[in-house]
Chain A
């Protein structure tokens, strides 16, 4: 009888604690995770390292360029080319990302909205791209990675 009780407890623990313990917390935790990934993103951006940028995506991740006449970009290689093009047109530059909202989706995914600002370098120092982006992150064995980034550009303006 005692064995039976212990086993029942074990079964219940397996059913309830497994997913519950692993569950990605609330919105606050989701914002922290997202901001942490964004910090890595900003570092790789400042190095103007398109390959490192692409490695922050899952292998089949997607990027929807804010210029909507440009087709959707899918996969790390294509994403790398896309960001290399942006670095070229901005003369490198610097990006700031601030996460505004995030929600956990189950244990291993997060949807978030952030605001971004990219300021060009050198001859492009007067170029500023701002806007907001919706992102989806997935937890992988290598850490959290972007599944998708969907930016919406604000109208272009000169640097302050």
Chain B
């Protein structure tokens, strides 16, 4: 009977764990998004497309500001390799808002400035984007990015 009770408790705990972890609040979602974009900025500054793509889910999706769609880490790595080669520059990303979807997904909006781009490193690219983040065993990762190039922007 005692074994049965312990096991029943075990089962209940197993069922309840997702509920306990659920609903990250808005503030927490902002923190998560802020932390991930900081990792992105640091990875971009290393000029290492592999390090950048490692921040994405294996099947992540990116609609870039130039209209290209990249599906999967390898395609995303190639896209950023091209960006590093042709654009260069330095990212500054500011999270504007974040929406938690349950405990494992966050959707956030951000403003992006890519400074020091172009042939003479004097251009600035202004972008706004929606980023979707997923919680994984390795931490939070980009599941999707959709970007829009803002009017009046250089490059």
Q: Do A and B bind each other?
A: yes
B130 engages A150 (CB within 8 Å): yes
A136 to B146, CA, bound (A): 10
B105 engages A62 (CB within 8 Å): no
Among A40-48, A77-85, A91-99, A103-111, the stretch in contact with B: A103-111
Closest Cβ of chain B to A155, distance in Å, is 11
B92 sits at the interface (CB 8 A):
no
Q: A18-B15, A19-B18, A74-B97 given as contacts; is B149 within 8 A of A68 (CB)?
A: yes
A124 sits at the interface (CB 8 A):
no
**Chain A interface residues (CB < 8 Å from chain B):** 3-4, 6-8, 10-11, 14-15, 18-19, 27, 58, 60, 62, 64, 66-69, 72, 74, 100-101, 103, 105-106, 108-109, 111-113, 132-136, 138, 147-148, 150, 152
Q: A105-B143, A111-B61 given as contacts; is B105 within 8 A of A18 (CB)?
A: no
B101 engages A109 (CB within 8 Å): yes
Among B47-55, B63-71, B79-87, the stretch in contact with A: B63-71
A11 engages B11 (CB within 8 Å): yes
Q: List 11 A-B contacts (CB under 8 A).
A: A4-B4, A19-B18, A64-B109, A101-B69, A106-B134, A109-B102, A111-B132, A113-B69, A132-B69, A135-B146, A150-B147
A146 to B60, CA, bound (A): 18
Q: Inside 8 A of B10's CB, which chain A residues have their CB?
A: 7, 11
How many A-B contacts are there with CB distance less than 8 Å? 128
B107 sits at the interface (CB 8 A):
yes
B130 engages A11 (CB within 8 Å): no
B146 engages A103 (CB within 8 Å): no
Q: Inside 8 A of B104's CB, which chain A residues have their CB?
A: 106
B73 sits at the interface (CB 8 A):
no
A72 engages B109 (CB within 8 Å): yes
A150 engages B146 (CB within 8 Å): yes
A112 to B152, CA, bound (A): 28
B143 engages A111 (CB within 8 Å): yes
**Chain B interface residues (CB < 8 Å from chain A):** 3-4, 6-8, 10-11, 14-15, 18, 57, 59-61, 63, 67, 69, 71, 96-97, 99, 101-102, 104-105, 107, 109, 128-130, 132, 134-135, 143-144, 146-152
A103 engages B59 (CB within 8 Å): yes
Q: Inside 8 A of A6's CB, which chain B residues have their CB?
A: 7
A64 engages B143 (CB within 8 Å): no
- Among A3, A135, A136, which residue has the most Cβ atoms of chain B within 10 A? A136
Q: Inside 8 A of B63's CB, which chain A residues have their CB?
A: 113, 132, 134, 150, 152
B128 engages A14 (CB within 8 Å): no
Q: Inside 8 A of A148's CB, which chain B residues have their CB?
A: 107, 109, 130, 146
A111 engages B144 (CB within 8 Å): yes
A136 to B69, CA, bound (A): 15
Closest Cβ of chain A to B93, distance in Å, is 15
Given A6-B7, A106-B135, 4 other A-B contacts at CB below 8 A?
A: A62-B97, A62-B130, A150-B147, A152-B148
